């Protein structure tokens, strides 16, 4: 081997950096390897917040919450298919994880509400923006402060084991150095999910064929193959979080409430094509069937005023507006004359109380007030819930639930924490808590060997 360390961390997202820092702080010599030319993985794209219960930040705002309530919400959100023991760790360590991050310099003072949460518990920087980018920056700065060796453009290829099946290192491929071994008694897999790999996604859930993804290009799941080749069991792989309306311009998920509150969906030809509030899979398939595989959410100021989230989309620049539908059509490449006729027709259906064109069950309001808006949307894959099976010490297990000695996993590469569906704000919480745990356990293990 070219290098010998105590702990190798594969992946430089939130889970990887948390693991590396915590292993270092538990007296381990650490290397992080990252296959991409940039750090941060998907973690740096996270926009929601870091869920945590009964923190000082919540107390300062008189928010009542508890780890038990966060546990209940997380299990319900995951359709009770989560691993209860892992959710217990996520929720009971959440406050500690926020404190760990703030002690390293993070600002998590703004506390907001995310879907599925019964309390405001999504912690984010003052002003509400970019929690993922902030967390990754703070973790990176702290890794640099500790002089942790971070190797970019270096892909983890194969876990090395001795004759008794104990992990002894990893075969990597560096962009310039080629193949070489790094020796260590413990490896932490923190390689993220596979939402960007549509072939893999569609094999597991055929309804998601052709979907784009909000994820970074490295999120293709090769870390899962490395894990499987080392004997790891994968679980919950079929649970993939998708959404019918991802903004094409900004890659953000546009909440269903925009349609629920009255927006219609039209194609480039300016025509409606589906009952806007049908199920997610049907809406997705209908949008993919349109010219350019995308469609436009069309609404005006009465819908905007009914939903404060819309101002966020406007602020992000993904919802351009104009004072007439013809102008809006010209800006966005929609047939403006047809669009004008479609909205007039829709308004007459609203007045009659019945959508005889597409059987839309709710017609909350006519679209005839003030400015008109268009958000171009297409279905997208957001998060993959499944992955390697871990126990409560973040040790990776095989199909017989036996621990693979020296192999640890944390973050989106693992399965079980989020069950069938992840709640917004729980990913950052997951990567910090389990990254930290994996790093600490890996460091302790390597000392014993």
Q: Which stretch binds ligand ADP (CB under 6 A): 8-16, 160-168, 180-188, 391-399?
A: 8-16
Q: Which stretch binds ligand ADP (CB under 6 A): 60-68, 99-107, 187-195, 243-251?
A: 187-195
**5 touching ligand ADP, by CB under 6 A:** no
CB of 300 to ligand ADP, least distance (A): 38
Distance CA 182, CA 169 (A): 6
**284 touching ligand ADP, by CB under 6 A:** no
β-bridge partners, 384: 240
Binding-residue total with ligand ADP (CB under 6 A): 28
Pick one of 14, 48, 336, 416: the residue that binds ligand ADP (CB under 6 A). Answer: 14
**426 touching ligand ADP, by CB under 6 A:** no
**241 touching ligand ADP, by CB under 6 A:** no
Nearest to 189 by CA among 435, 441, 421: 435
Pick one of 5, 6, 8, 16: the residue that binds ligand ADP (CB under 6 A). Answer: 16
**33 touching ligand ADP, by CB under 6 A:** yes
DSSP per residue over 266-319, as a string?
A: E-TTS-B-S-TTS-HHHHHHHHHTSGGG-EEEEEEHHHHHH-THHHHHHHTT-S
CB of 226 to ligand ADP, least distance (A): 6
Do residues 373 and 323 make contact, with C-beta atoms less than 8 angstroms apart? no
Query: What are the angstrom distances between the C-alpha of 355 and each of 266, 346, 358, 363?
Result: 15, 8, 6, 8
Distance CA 3, CA 379 (A): 44
**270 touching ligand ADP, by CB under 6 A:** no
Pick one of 10, 131, 307, 389: the residue that binds ligand ADP (CB under 6 A). Answer: 10
**By CB under 6 A, what part of segment 212-231 binds ligand ADP?**
218-219, 222-223, 226
Nearest to 381 by CA among 208, 264, 220: 208
Beta strands 387-389; 414-415: pairing state: parallel
**15 touching ligand ADP, by CB under 6 A:** yes
Nearer to ligand ADP, 89 or 226 (CB): 226
**By CB under 6 A, what part of segment 332-351 binds ligand ADP?**
none
**By CB under 6 A, what part of segment 295-314 binds ligand ADP?**
none
**11 touching ligand ADP, by CB under 6 A:** yes
**By CB under 6 A, what part of segment 147-186 binds ligand ADP?**
155-156
Site string for ligand ADP, 393-412 (x = CB under 6 A): ------------------xx
Distance CA 397, CA 385 (A): 17
Do residues 249 and 296 make contact, with C-beta atoms less than 8 angstroms apart? no
Instruction: Indicate if 280 belongs to the active site.
Output: yes
Nearest to 246 by CA among 203, 213, 292, 206: 213
**176, exposed or middle or buried, with CB in 10 Å at 0-12, 13-18, 19+?**
exposed
Q: Which of 146, 280, 304, 365 is catalytic?
A: 280
The dihedral over CA atoms of 386, 387, 390, 394, expressed in degrees to the nearest 10, equals -110
Do residues 166 and 388 make contact, with C-beta atoms less than 8 angstroms apart? no
CB of 156 to ligand ADP, least distance (A): 4
CB of 170 to ligand ADP, least distance (A): 9
Q: What are phi and psi of 139, to 5 degrees?
A: -65, -45
CB of 189 to ligand ADP, least distance (A): 9
Sheet (strand 178-183) strand order: 3-4, 178-183, 167-174, 154-161
Binding site for ligand ADP (CB under 6 A): 10-16, 33-36, 41-43, 155-156, 190-192, 218-219, 222-223, 226, 411-413, 431
Q: Please identify every residue annotated as catalytic.
A: 280
């Amino acid at each position: 081997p070219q290098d010998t360390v105590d702990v190798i961390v594969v992946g430089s997202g939130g889970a990887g950096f948390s693991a590396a820092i915590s292993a270092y702080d538990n007296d381990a010599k650490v290397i992080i390897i990252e296959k991409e030319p940039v750090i941060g993985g998907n973690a740096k794209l996270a926009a929601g917040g870091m869920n945590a219960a009964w923190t000082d930040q919540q107390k300062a705002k008189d928010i009542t919450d508890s780890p038990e309530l966060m546990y209940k919400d997380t299990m319900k959100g995951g359709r009770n298919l989560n691993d209860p023991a892992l959710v217990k760790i996520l929720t009971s360590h959440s406050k500690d994880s926020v404190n760990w991050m703030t002690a390293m310099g993070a600002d998590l003072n703004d506390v907001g509400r995310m879907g599925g949460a019964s309390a405001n518990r999504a912690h984010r920087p003052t002003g509400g923006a970019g929690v993922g980018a902030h967390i990754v920056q703070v973790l990176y700065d702290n890794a640099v402060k500790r002089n942790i060796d971070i190797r970019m453009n270096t892909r983890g290829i194969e876990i090395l084991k001795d004759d008794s099946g104990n992990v002894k290192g990893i075969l990597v491929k560096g962009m310039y150095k080629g193949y070489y071994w790094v020796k260590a008694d413990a490896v932490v897999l923190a390689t993220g999910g596979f939402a960007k790999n549509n072939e893999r996604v569609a094999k597991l859930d055929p309804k998601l064929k052709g979907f784009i993804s909000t994820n970074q290009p490295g999120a293709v799941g090769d870390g899962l193959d490395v894990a499987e080749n080392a004997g790891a069991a994968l679980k919950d792989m079929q649970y993939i979080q998708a959404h019918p309306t991802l903004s094409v311009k900004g890659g953000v998920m546009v909440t269903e409430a925009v349609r629920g509150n009255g927006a219609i969906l039209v194609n480039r030809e300016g025509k409606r094509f589906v009952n806007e509030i049908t199920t997610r899979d049907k809406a997705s398939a209908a949008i993919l069937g349109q010219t350019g595989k995308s469609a436009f959410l069309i609404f005006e100021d009465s819908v905007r005023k009914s939903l404060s989230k819309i101002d966020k989309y406007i602020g992000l620049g993904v919802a351009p507006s104009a004072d007439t539908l013809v102008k809006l059509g010209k800006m966005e490449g929609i047939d403006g004359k047809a669009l004008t006729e479609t909205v007039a027709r829709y308004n007459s259906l609203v007045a009659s109380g019945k959508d005889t064109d597409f059987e839309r069950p709710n017609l909350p309001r006519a679209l005839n007030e003030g400015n008109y808006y268009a958000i171009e949307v297409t279905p997208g894959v957001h998060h993959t819930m499944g992955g390697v099976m871990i126990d409560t010490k973040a040790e990776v297990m095989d199909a017989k639930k036996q621990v693979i000695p020296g192999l640890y996993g944390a973050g989106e590469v693992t399965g079980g924490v989020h069950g069938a569906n992840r709640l917004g704000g729980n990913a950052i919480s997951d990567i910090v808590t389990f990254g930290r745990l994996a790093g600490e356990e890996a460091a302790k293990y390597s000392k014993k060997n």
